[in-house]
Structure 1
Amino acid sequence: MLVRKGSMTAALLGAAVFGVGLASPATAAQVLGSDAAACSPGGGPAIRVVVEGLKDRTGELKLELYPATETDFLRDDYLLIREGKFFRRVKVPTPASGPVVLCIRVPSPGAYALLLTHDRDGKNKFNFWTDGAGFASNRKLGRSRPKLDQARIVVPAGMVSVDIRAQYLRGLGGFSPIGS
């Protein structure tokens, strides 16, 4: 977790408390997405996501940010917006090569639920059989619906950085990272 504003102690404590991995400081890749400016100095609050473990470089990647409540996590964006609740989505074509770094801005510091999907067939609808998903906790999803605690991330006044490993359907065991 990189926190531009605040102490490193707070960043490490946040990583330990909320199960967020520390991002690689060597990653100097171009940040992708319509919110990329929010992850540059002076931007934020925002989440910088380093995507790892893609099955291939097809389709598009999507970050979705939900309110951090069980009832709102993974709810239809239309319903959330209609009810005046926060929802944000950033979509980018999957880069053909190189590191993949995305950014999504948040309205204010606080807790959110973050979902990464790899829409491999480009149909803009999650296909259980072919598409991938990932969460801030990087815990194996298995065969169950993702839980809020797998996707929960706390964003400080600045920027938080997290590595997310994509997971795909892997036989009877359900979703897991490639090579696990």
Structure 2
Amino acid sequence: MTMTTRLGGALAAMTLAASLMTTVGIGIVAVPAFASAPVADADGCTGPASDVRLFVTITNVRAAKGLVAVTLYADDRHKFLAHHGSLYVGRVPAVAPTTRMCIYVPADGVYALAVYHDEDANRKFNRTTIGLPAEGYGFSNNPSTFLGMPSFTSVRMVVPHSGAQTSVRLKYP
């Protein structure tokens, strides 16, 4: 690996971290009040109850400690990773190596997910002193984040019916 390749990767990681620092989806700014609700309801789903459930499998969870947070976004590129742009953040206890959770979505349609492993359960996406990610993260459709944040188009996913399933693979720094 050349020095240029290593520097390019470091710059990409710093760009990603800077983007994450300003997002709702990674849980570092205020989210709607109901996002602080209990981790899951009696039916095992998070979020405001609806008739449509989405089952999310989060893989590559490195430790069974803390929480896994899943942020749900509507099909609006202007709200994706924007301040107050998410519909809500659902959280469940982390289970390694795979965490499974159920989230309510308002209706069938197109959505996007941003996920992070909140290992210390502080409900924030932690960063190193130089701003790089310190916790695992991922997005719906598992797009590349090598050169920065994924495009909205790359993370859009269709939820065609209640009971649909998707998988997100976490990446750790």
TM-score band by shorter chain is 0.5 to 0.7
Q: Cα offset for 1:104?
A: 0.8
Note closer, same or farther for the CA distance 1:148–1:89 as it changes in structure 2 (3 Å cut): same
**Aligned residue number for residue 53 of structure 1:** 60
**Aligned residue number for residue 126 of structure 1:** 125
Name the CA distance, whole Å, in 1 between partners of 2:140 and 2:76.
15
SS in 2 for 1:168: coil
Amino acid at match of 1:75: A
Q: Cα offset for 1:143?
A: 4.0
| Deviation string, structure 1 residues 38-80 (Cα, Å, up to 9, x no partner) | 69xxx84121011111122222111110112221001223xx4
**Aligned residue number for residue 79 of structure 2:** 72
**Aligned residue number for residue 93 of structure 1:** 93
What TM-score results when the alignment is normalised by the length of structure 2? 0.63
Q: Which moved more, 1:132-141 or 1:61-70?
A: 132-141
| Deviation string, structure 1 residues 70-108 (Cα, Å, up to 9, x no partner) | 21001223xx4xxxxx7022112213x574211111111
SS in 2 for 1:167: coil
SS in 2 for 1:55: coil
Instruction: Note the 1:143-154 alignment, pairs <5 A.
Output: 143-154=147-158
Report runs of 4+ in structure 1 exceeding 3 Å deviation. Answer: 32-39
Structure 1 spans left out of the alignment, 5+ residues: 1-31, 81-85, 170-180
Note closer, same or farther for the CA distance 1:59–1:150 as it changes in structure 2 (3 Å cut): farther
Q: Cα offset for 1:35?
A: 7.9
Paired residues of 2:61 and 2:94 also in contact (CA < 8 A): no
Instruction: Note the 1:96-175 alignment, pairs <5 A.
Output: 97=96, 99-128=98-127, 129-169=133-173
Q: Cα offset for 1:34?
A: 3.2
SS in 1 for 2:172: strand
Name the CA distance, whole Å, in 1 between partners of 2:110 and 2:150.
17
Q: Which moved more, 1:141-150 or 1:49-58?
A: 141-150
Amino acid at match of 1:90: G
What TM-score results when the alignment is normalised by the length of structure 1? 0.61
